[in-house]
Amino acid sequence: MLEGTRNTTNTVDPVTVLATEVLKDLYRAVCGREPLAVRAYQDEDAILLLLRFETSENDAHGREPRLDTAFLAMPGMIASAVEARVGRRLMPGNLSICAERGLAVLAFSAVETPVETDPGDDPFRIDDSRPQRPQLRLAS
């Protein structure tokens, strides 16, 4: 669900929708079940993703270590997935987690300039003979 603020029109930004879907997929991959809810709020270039999760995912001393580690990695993974799929950059911001309430908030800034890619550029090619790139040599 995407919600705009009162002073903006409710236009659905595909980047925000994609970021929401990626967050759902990442949570499902880590926990093996759907999150309770995922919401997105956008105001100009600021994007907030809210994730509600089961508080039973917590042990007596706080979040499970695998969930804690996953939450720390999610902002970067979401930004990478959005850039790879639609060519727009998201800059990860703060991450706030309230384990007792089962709530995580991920903040992003959307960068306006799209990523320019050269369709013939393959960063993994070793035999790239273009003069502007240094040749890679295999160590023997």
Domain ranges of the chain: 2-110
Q: What is the pLDDT of residues 27-82, one digit of tens each?
A: 999 888 899 999 999 998 899 999 999 877 555 444 466 778 889 999 999 999 99
**Quick one: 17 exposed, middle or buried, by C-beta within 10 A (0-12, 13-18, 19+)?**
middle
Contact predicate 97/71, CB 8 Å: yes
Angle at 120 between CA 118 and CA 121, to 5 degrees: 65
Contact predicate 97/103, CB 8 Å: yes
84: three-class secondary structure by DSSP? helix
Contact predicate 82/119, CB 8 Å: no
Q: What is the dihedral of CA 78, 105, 1, 20, to 10 degrees?
A: 10
pLDDT, mean of residues 5-28:
79
Task: Tell which wins on pLDDT, 44 or 12.
Answer: 44
Question: What share of the chain has pLDDT > 70, as a percent?
Answer: 64
Q: What pLDDT does 68 receive?
A: 80
* Range 2-110: architecture per CATH: 2-Layer Sandwich (3.30)
* 134 confidence band (pLDDT: 50, 70, 90): low
Task: Tell which wins on pLDDT, 6 or 43.
Answer: 43
- Token digits of residue 3: 């919600």
Contact predicate 36/53, CB 8 Å: yes
Q: Which residue has the tokens 């956008």?
A: 42
Q: What pLDDT does 108 receive?
A: 96
Q: What pLDDT does 113 receive?
A: 65
Average pLDDT over the chain, rounded to whole?
Answer: 78
d(C-alpha 134, C-alpha 63), whole Å? 47
